[in-house]
Structure 1
Amino acid sequence: MFEIRVEADFAAAHFLSDYHGKCERLHGHNYLVHAHARGETLDSGGMLVDFGVLKKALRDVCAALDHSNLNDMAAFDRNPSAERIAAYIFIELKSMLPEVPLYAVDVWETPTSRARYIG
């Protein structure tokens, strides 16, 4: 099994409507995002996926989220948790690159807190 990973980042604000604690107030994160592709076969050039292709798509998805209030996006149902952000990015990447064997997306809110969506 082969696996590759690319990363991108974005900064955004959010709050969690159904959370009781400090995260229910508007705050921001510098998110780090990892996209993983996994598969058993390589192309004729010996690659699972061209890093550049996956990295560009990930950067494009992250750019659409950058410097925004994520609560304003209907996709997050008023609660843009790291889990929902990871799922959103995965779905967007898969729609942009259906031929890529996308496996998972990780969203890091802090260096010690990560959510993963596995497709």
Structure 2
Amino acid sequence: MYGLKTESSFDAAHFLTDYDGKCENLHGHRWRVVAYIEQDRLQSDGQAKDMVVDFGDFKHALRALTEELDHMFIVEEGSLAPETVACLERETFKLFVVPFRTTSENLARYFYERLEKRGFPVSLVEVYETPLNCAYYSK
């Protein structure tokens, strides 16, 4: 098995709905995303000959995805009252609304699926909320 690994990070705020603890309050992280891709064989022709994929393409794809969330307020769809959302937007806060609870586990799946849709043979994505704690997603 051949593989590549790259990582990127972004700063963003979130809160956890229906959670009894500190994380129910708005707070931020420097999220670190580490993505792994694997293939049984290296490519046999073209510019990517003898590579899993072009490392630059993989690196740029992950960085583009994390850039979309950088300095955003990641919000679970329906978790805030419409008036609150309108007020935040009026104050020019940048919201990134997602259809899932904003846990590290769900963000790992989010990045995995986005890379997979871009054609990368993803095997695992880790999302770190802190330097020592991460969640991961693989199929």
Q: Same fold (TM over 0.5)?
A: yes
Residues 1:69 and 2:92 aligned together:
no
Query: Within 5 Å, which residues of 2 pair with 1:14-93?
Result: 14-44=14-44, 45-71=49-75, 72-77=95-100, 79-93=101-115
Instruction: Find the counterpart in structure 1 of residue 4 from structure 2.
Output: 4
The Cα shift of 1:76 comes to 4.1
Q: Give 1:110 shift.
A: 0.6
SS across alignment from 2:110: helix
CA contact (8 A) 2:125 2:136 kept: yes
Q: d(CA) in 2 for partners of 1:76 and 1:88?
A: 10
Displacement of 1:74 after TM fit?
3.9
Does the 8 Å CA contact 1:70/1:76 hold for their aligned counterparts? Answer: no
Mapped partners of 2:4, 2:25: distance in 1: 36
Q: Distance in 1 between matches of 2:24 and 2:74?
A: 13
Cα distance in 1 between the residues matched to 2:121 and 2:61: 14
Aligned partner of 2:86 in structure 1 is none
Which one has the largest radius of gyration? 2
Contact 2:74 2:98 in 1 (8 A): no
Q: Could you tell me how far apart the structure 2 residues matched to 1:73 and 1:5 are?
A: 26
| Contiguous gaps of at least 5 residues in structure 2 | 76-94
3-state SS in 2 of match to 1:69: strand
**Which stretches of structure 1, 4 residues or longer, exceed 3 Å deviation after superposition?**
none
TM-score normalised by the chain length of structure 2: 0.78
RMSD between aligned alpha carbons? 1.3
What is the CA-CA distance between 1:51 and the residue it aligns to? Answer: 1.2
Runs of 5+ consecutive residues of structure 1 not aligned to the other structure: none
